[in-house]
Chain A
Amino acid sequence: NAGVTQTPKFQVLKTGQSMTLQCAQDMNHEYMSWYRQDPGMGLRLIHYSVGAGITDQGEVPNGYNVSRSTTEDFPLRLLSAAPSQTSVYFCASSYTSAGDEQFFGPGTRLTVL
């Protein structure tokens, strides 16, 4: 199993550009989530999904969209990038819920100029 994979590993955007961060898991996990990590802030939940076709907002959802058309994939879309979205983004998955062990991907380091 590859576990949780994320692409790209690094990305630089200009303000106003849009892009999609990819996340995939091959463990047949129902629960998937996106976090952003900023220095001194820990991890903050952006969006999460409890299964295909179901998504919901986390703590900091503004400026981000998600969809869950398959169990395996959970892409995160930045609609119009802003410097405040410069961060490290982690995707995670777990068997059924947030309280199960979440397996994290390696992260995407995003810089918005």
Chain B
Amino acid sequence: GQQLNQSPQSMFIQEGEDVSMNCTSSSIFNTWLWYKQDPGEGPVLLIALYKAGELTSNGRLTAQFGITRKDSFLNISASIPSDVGIYFCAGRKGGSEKLVFGKGTKLTVNP
């Protein structure tokens, strides 16, 4: 079964607030990826992390690859209405060609 625990399950925030979500695993991963899915569409990659401790930004988004290699975090600063959607973490173990997804964090932004 799935091995990634993603939290929170959902968030309701006001426009302009910052958002944090995380993903944890009991296993070590070599790659952490963060995807966003808009309603009725397929997920789109936001940030890819390939090294423990790595901190990467993409505009208002910042993600980190945990030092233990068992977790990752995604932060969104100054949220806007178009940030609405479902955010997924995904991880890949070393030597595996299988990508494991978390169950997602549904974000709602109130204007």
Q: Taking beta carbons and an 8 Å cutoff, which residues of A are in contact with B?
A: 4, 31, 33, 35, 40-45, 48, 50, 56, 58-59, 90, 92, 97-99, 101-102, 104-107
Query: In the assembled complex, which residues on chain A have CB atoms less than 8 Å from the CB atom of B102?
Result: 42
Distance of A8 from chain B, by nearest CB (Å) = 15
A98-B96, A98-B97, A99-B92 as given contacts; A40 in contact with B42, CB under 8 Å: no
**Given A90-B43, A107-B41, A107-B42, 7 new contacts (CB under 8 A):** A40-B103, A42-B2, A43-B88, A44-B101, A45-B99, A98-B99, A104-B43
Main secondary structure of the interface of B (DSSP, over half): loop
Chain B residues with Cβ below 8 Å from A45 are 98-100
Question: Is the C-beta of B1 less than 8 angstroms from some C-beta in chain A?
Answer: yes
Count residues of B near A (Cβ-Cβ below 8 Å). 26
Query: Is B78 engaged at the interface, CB distance under 8 Å to the other chain?
Result: no
15 inter-chain pairs at a CB distance below 8 angstroms, sorted by A residue, are A33-B99, A42-B2, A42-B103, A43-B88, A44-B2, A45-B100, A50-B97, A58-B98, A97-B97, A98-B31, A99-B31, A99-B99, A101-B33, A104-B41, A107-B41
- Residue-wise, chain B 34-77 has the 8 Å CB interface mask toward A (1 for contact) of 00000011111100101000000000000000000000000000
Residues facing A in B74-111 (CB within 8 A) are 88, 90, 92, 96-104
Give Cα A50–Cα B45 distance, bound, in whole angstroms: 20
Closest Cβ neighbor of B6 among chain A residues: A42
Given A45-B100, A98-B98, A92 contacting B42 (CB threshold 8 A): yes
Q: How many Å lie between the Cα of A56 and that of B33 in the bound state? A: 22
B25 within 8 A of A: no
When the two chains form their complex, are residues A98 and B2 in contact, meaning their CB atoms are under 8 A apart?
no
* Least Cβ–Cβ distance between A9 and chain B, in angstroms: 10
What residue of chain B has the Cβ atom nearest to residue A45's Cβ?
Answer: B98
